[in-house]
Amino acid sequence: MAAIFQGVGAAAALSSSPSNSFDSKKFVFSPCRSFSVRKGASFAVVRSDGRVNLNPKGRRAQQLISNAVATKSDNAAASSSSKPGHELLLFEALQEGLEEEMERDPRVCVMGEDVGHYGGSYKVTKGLAKKFGDLRVLDTPIAENSFTGMGIGAAMTGLRPVVEGMNMGFLLLAFNQISNNCGMLHYTSGGQFTIPIVIRGPGGVGRQLGAEHSQRLESYFQSIPGIQMVACSTPYNAKGLMKAAIRSENPVIFFEHVLLYNLKERIPDEDYICNLEEAEMVRPGEHVTILTYSRMRYHVMQAAKTLVNKGYDPEVIDIRSLKPFDLYTIGNSVKKTHRVLIVEECMRTGGIGASLIAAITENFNDYLDAPIMCLSSQDVPTPYAGTLEEVTVVQPAQIVTAVEQLCQ
């Protein structure tokens, strides 16, 4: 492994020399196998207008995202095809952002299980090994604690690794490295080291993946000093946040939801990044502030349609930055609506919602006309049975009821 990172380090050193131009192909030390795709594989495409497209061999995908994507108006759907830019699925947007950053900065490298020629468990790294070589797209053994620590060490020596957890739940095996090293080494070294690393992967409640593969680790990592956390929810912010996270000098944990990978959206052709510490105003409103993130954004927007029909005007904010919170955007909304509803997929006890309640109460309590309400997943292991799994997660009807209670 030392030889591997010496080779990548040499690439970075060459790139910093004014007399040398970096060519990643020169550092491909082993022949690249051709990328293979399993025959008969199929997937559903959930467009941002709510339509579901299937490839010819695909099965019905009605269970892929249940009540997750809010339908936009027909006019918006019709006009989307005429907008500039290009359409990408969310996992493709992540891949495009990662590829662009690897082209821009030879210090960026990727490591994780099956990230190489297989292309990652959700194809976020598809094609990168063939383009950049085995030294910059490194397949690792099934040893999360080891390769996460290796990535942290690589960041300390000047590289910018992107570590993929095949499933966010598996990163619990690397918790010691993330907590004691990734988050604290900049401080404990007296500023001698920076840790510009991105730790990313799929998480959230899927479709009958069982308790171990339905983890929401936001609450686990939020108390670690020195760590930033972001959660993407659209192809646009997935790419922009990915690029910003790679360029950041801080360690960033990047949360992706397993059920949003096939969400489709048109994104700009030109280069852009999103602010890692800025929330997104999804829908302006006057009556109540609804704070949410990740998949719950779409549950909230579906509920918002019902609320508007009932005469309510909710303001919806995708907080995106789970640590630190964008208290400027949140505060301005609270001062306008005077009521707050938090909707999360995280567990209720010690979750992101609990931290938001504390932050809002400490900073904006005088502006509240009603107690803050929080809708969270139940404090139970996620059941395997589909009907029970759905009961543990917040549904749009619960959001409508909560807003009605807040606005009485």
141 preceded by a cis bond (ω within 30 of 0): no
Q: How many other C-beta atoms lie within 10 A of the C-beta of residue 263?
A: 25
Sheet hosting strand 280-283, strand order edge to edge? 280-283, 314-318, 288-292, 340-347, 373-377
Closest Cα partner for 65 from 56, 53, 75, 77?
Answer: 53
Q: What is the DSSP letter of 335?
A: H
What is the end-to-end Cα distance of the chain in Å, rounded? Answer: 62
Q: Is 200 exposed, middle or buried (0-12, 13-18, 19+ CB in 10 A)?
A: buried
Pick the catalytic residue from 117, 186, 213, 257.
213
213 tagged catalytic: yes
Residues whose CB is less than 8 angstroms from the CB of residue 243 and which lie 6 or more positions away in sequence, other chains included? 97, 100, 101, 272, 273, 274
Secondary structure element (H or E) that encloses residue 91, with its range:
helix 90-104
Residues whose CB is less than 8 angstroms from the CB of residue 15 and which lie 6 or more positions away in sequence, other chains included? 22, 105, 106, 107
Per DSSP, the three-state class of 156 is: helix
Cβ contact 199:252 at 8 Å: yes
The Cα–Cα gap between 212 and 187 comes to 33
144 tagged catalytic: yes
Pick the catalytic residue from 113, 144, 315, 389.
144
Q: How many other C-beta atoms lie within 10 A of the C-beta of residue 202?
A: 25
Positions marked active-site: 144, 213
